[in-house]
């Protein structure tokens, strides 16, 4: 029996009719933009929007995909000529499609030189990026460049051979200034509030330390629009790769799997030409903030809550956690009662309907989104997802009994990865070592543990960390989450919330 062929340009005309293929001539597609961080999310989101646009209105918007961190691209996307299968999955529904917008891939993990060559090219008018929250080398609590970050220390000492995102972008802009002076739009597509502001902060701060007027040139010739992106696209598994061969008869080493829902809201702030993604479903707006708030605080807040509490409850996937009766009731009540009152109104969007839509998306059993994956780099996420709404609630004089539980859940998740707690699971978080050190030095005392972690001021704003209501709520929840019955914290928070609701109801009736 012959081995199945691997996806590539020569195979496009021989694919099954059920597999949608690009509706344009890829051989004539020229690159006009680059993307940093070609992972599953980019392949399910920005690359698909671009593929839609090329099918509608063909133009010079081919994408050069660049990875400055593992994994390498040469043996997957490179070997397939930039082609890959995007699978949309919802329960039993499967929709395969070949995306053709990536015309070239560049591995730049060993050296920044290949990335710099692309980014400084006059052909590139736009750079998008999905490098995860920690890729910006910023301080989560304030968004400023972390000058103590090892990669930033290296890059300031070795600016021509950078290895951080801020260092690479600053060097690319320096090369553009010297070679041709063409403007550039740098569009962050990472799940960070005001991501354009943070990107500009870290790049300009780095450039200011380089001197020679680079920061001023960047201000005049570079745009940093903010954007809100949304589509659930979990890490691809071996089963996903094998399923393409089983269902459609060819091999694909770069499969991407996503849910049907997608959204992209982009601030209208560009330095030059930009793809008309608004013609294929994206939104160009003057202010992204309301969209960021509702997505990060509702959908992402629910994901972080279900992920860490789900792990503590022994559940593997988000769909397992949302199917748990206790966690399902808890997350819905947390969002409706404590998160929604902190939101900025979004024109045309009904908040309660958005909650139900978001929770419905998380029930999709075909999206095998592991709780440990969602919990990755939680220290970079809890500020916008949980701490900011808590701060707003405290400012309103309102309760935080529910929102405090997932904050304690994040603490317990990292604490139980320490030696003191038997390293119950491996974690990936920039602050895992610091939390483990606190746990190893402190032991089982929840008050001492909470105090030590709340003192990490790069995550917890000192004003919030000192708030007595917040400290008491987090400490109480943490104590129960570290017990033999971790879900007691969830039950007790719901019981206390019910008592408070009844009390408010009686008062309003008087």
Q: What is the pLDDT of residues 293-314, one digit of tens each?
A: 999 999 999 999 999 999 999 9
Kindly indicate the confidence band of residue 7, based on its pLDDT and cuts at 50, 70 and 90. very high
Could you tell me which CATH class the domain 311-509 is placed in?
A: mainly alpha
Edge-to-edge strand order for the sheet containing 283-285?
227-230, 263-267, 283-285
Quick check: 267 and 197 in contact, CB under 8 A?
no
The mean pLDDT of 167-179, rounded to a whole number, is 98
Q: What is the DSSP letter of 138?
A: B
The mean pLDDT of 137-153, rounded to a whole number, is 93
Kindly indicate the confidence band of residue 510, based on its pLDDT and cuts at 50, 70 and 90. low
Q: What is the rounded distance in angstroms from the CA atom of residue 165 to the CA atom of residue 171?
A: 10
C-beta pairs of 45-48 under 8 Å, 24+ apart in sequence = 45/189, 45/229, 45/231, 45/233, 45/258, 45/262, 45/264, 46/128, 46/130, 46/189, 46/229, 46/264, 47/99, 47/101, 47/102, 48/86, 48/97, 48/99, 48/101, 48/262
Q: Which residues contact 463 (CB under 8 A, 6 or more apart)?
A: none
Q: Which residues contact 350 (CB under 8 A, 6 or more apart)?
A: none
pTM of the model: 0.92
Half-sphere exposure of 187 (CA within 13 A, CB side): 29
The mean pLDDT of 441-464, rounded to a whole number, is 94
Residue 124, pLDDT score: 98
Is the domain spanning 9-285 CATH 3.40.1390.10? The answer is: no
CA-based nearest residue to 480, from 443, 441, 442, 446:
446
Q: Which residues contact 178 (CB under 8 A, 6 or more apart)?
A: none
Strands 84-90 and 93-99: antiparallel
Q: What is the pLDDT of residues 180-192, one digit of tens each?
A: 999 999 999 999 9
Range among 99-103, 209-213, 363-367 rated most confident? 99-103
Q: What is the rounded distance in angstroms from the CA atom of residue 135 to the CA atom of residue 42?
A: 15
Residue 132, pLDDT score: 92
**pLDDT, mean over the chain:** 95
- Least confident window among 73-82, 206-215, 277-286, 416-425: 416-425
* Residue 114, CA distances (Å) to 61, 111, 119, 222, 484 in order: 20, 7, 9, 21, 52
Residue 3, pLDDT score: 80
Q: How many CB atoms lie within 10 A of CB 434?
A: 17
**End-to-end alpha-carbon separation of the chain, Å?**
80
Which residue ranges make up each domain of the chain? 9-285, 311-509
Phi, psi of 153 (to 5 degrees): -60, -45
Q: In this predicted model, which residue has the larger pLDDT, 444 or 242?
A: 242
Whether residue 2 has pLDDT greater than 90: no
Measured N-to-C along each axis, helices 325-333 and 301-312 cross at an angle, to the nearest 10 degrees, of 150
Quick check: 187 and 196 in contact, CB under 8 A?
yes
Q: What is the rounded distance in angstroms from the CA atom of residue 390 to the CA atom of residue 394?
A: 6
Residue 8, pLDDT score: 97
Q: What is the rounded distance in angstroms from the CA atom of residue 118 to the CA atom of residue 120?
A: 6
CA-based nearest residue to 386, from 346, 342, 351, 344:
342
Whether residue 501 has pLDDT greater than 90: no
Residue 142, pLDDT score: 86
Quick check: 281 and 262 in contact, CB under 8 A?
yes
Q: What is the pLDDT of residues 80-106, one digit of tens each?
A: 999 999 999 999 999 999 999 999 999
Q: What is the rounded distance in angstroms from the CA atom of residue 223 to the CA atom of residue 267?
A: 10
DSSP-based three-state secondary structure for 444:
coil
Phi, psi of 286 (to 5 degrees): -80, -30
Whether residue 394 has pLDDT greater than 90: yes
255: exposed, middle or buried (C-beta count within 10 Å: 0-12, 13-18, 19+)?
buried
Whether residue 351 has pLDDT greater than 90: yes
Phi, psi of 229 (to 5 degrees): -120, 150
Whether residue 150 has pLDDT greater than 70: yes
The two counts, helices (H) then strands (E), for the chain are: 22, 12
Residue 443, pLDDT score: 85
Residue 1, pLDDT score: 54
Residues 363, 366, 372, 373: is their CA dihedral positive or negative? negative
The mean pLDDT of 204-220, rounded to a whole number, is 95
Q: What is the DSSP letter of 136?
A: G
Q: What is the pLDDT of residues 304-350, one digit of tens each?
A: 999 999 999 999 999 999 999 999 999 999 999 999 999 999 988 99
Altogether, the residues listed in the chain come to a count of: 510
Residue 422, pLDDT score: 86
Q: What is the pLDDT of residues 103-120, one digit of tens each?
A: 999 999 999 999 999 999
Three-class SS string for 63-94?
A: EEEEECCCCCCHHHHHCCCCCEEEEEEECCEE
Q: What is the rounded distance in angstroms from the CA atom of residue 236 to the CA atom of residue 293?
A: 28
């Amino acid at each position: 029996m012959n081995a199945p062929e691997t996806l590539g340009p020569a195979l496009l005309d021989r694919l099954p009719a059920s597999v949608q293929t690009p509706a344009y001539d890829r051989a004539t597609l020229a690159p006009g933009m680059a993307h940093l961080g070609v992972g599953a999310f980019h392949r399910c989101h920005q690359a698909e929007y671009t593929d839609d646009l090329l099918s509608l209105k063909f133009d010079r918007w081919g994408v050069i995909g660049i990875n400055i961190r593992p994994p390498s691209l040469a043996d997957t996307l490179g070997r397939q000529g930039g082609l890959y299968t995007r699978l949309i999955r919802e329960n039993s529904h499967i929709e395969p499609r070949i995306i053709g917008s990536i015309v070239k891939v560049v591995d730049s993990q060993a050296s920044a030189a290949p990335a710099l060559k692309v980014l400084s090219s006059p052909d590139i008018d736009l750079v998008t990026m999905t490098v995860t929250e920690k890729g910006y080398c910023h301080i989560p609590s304030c968004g400023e460049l972390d000058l103590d970050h090892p990669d930033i220390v290296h890059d300031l000492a070795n600016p021509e051979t950078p290895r951080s995102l801020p260092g690479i972008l600053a060097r690319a802009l320096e090369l553009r200034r010297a070679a041709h002076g063409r403007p550039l739009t740098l569009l962050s597509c990472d799940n960070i509030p005001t991501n354009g502001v943070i990107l500009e902060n870290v790049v300009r701060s780095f450039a200011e330390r380089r001197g020679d007027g680079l920061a001023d040139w960047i201000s005049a010739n570079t745009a940093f629009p903010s954007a809100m992106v949304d589509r659930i696209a979990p890490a691809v598994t071996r089963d996903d790769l094998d399923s393409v061969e089983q269902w459609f008869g060819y091999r694909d080493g770069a499969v991407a799997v996503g849910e049907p829902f997608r959204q992209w809201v982009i601030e209208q702030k560009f330095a030059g030409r930009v793809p008309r993604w608004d013609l294929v479903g994206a939104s160009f707006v003057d202010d992204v903030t309301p969209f960021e708030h509702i997505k990060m605080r509702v959908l992402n807040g629910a994901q972080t809550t279900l992920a860490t509490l789900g792990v503590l409850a022994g559940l593997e996937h988000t769909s397992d956690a949302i199917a748990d009766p206790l966690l399902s009731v808890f997350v819905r009540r947390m969002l409706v009662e404590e998160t929604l009152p902190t939101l900025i109104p979004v024109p045309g969007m009904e908040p309660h309907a958005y909650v139900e839509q978001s929770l419905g998306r998380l029930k999709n059993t075909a999206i095998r989104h592991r709780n440990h994956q969602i919990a990755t780099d939680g220290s970079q996420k809890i500020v916008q997802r949980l701490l900011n709404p808590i701060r707003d609630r405290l400012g309103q004089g309102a309760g935080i009994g529910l929102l405090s539980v997932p904050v304690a859940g994040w603490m317990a998740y990292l604490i139980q990865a320490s030696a003191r707690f038997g390293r119950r699971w491996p974690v990936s978080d920039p602050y895992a070592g610091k939390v483990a050190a606190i746990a190893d030095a402190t032991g089982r005392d929840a008050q001492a543990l909470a105090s030590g972690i709340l003192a990490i001021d790069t995550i917890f704003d000192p004003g919030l960390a000192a708030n007595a209501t917040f400290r008491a709520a987090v400490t109480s929840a943490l104590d129960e989450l570290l017990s033999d019955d971790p879900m007691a914290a969830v039950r007790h928070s719901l019981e206390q919330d019910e008592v408070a609701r009844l009390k408010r109801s009686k008062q309003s009736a008087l």
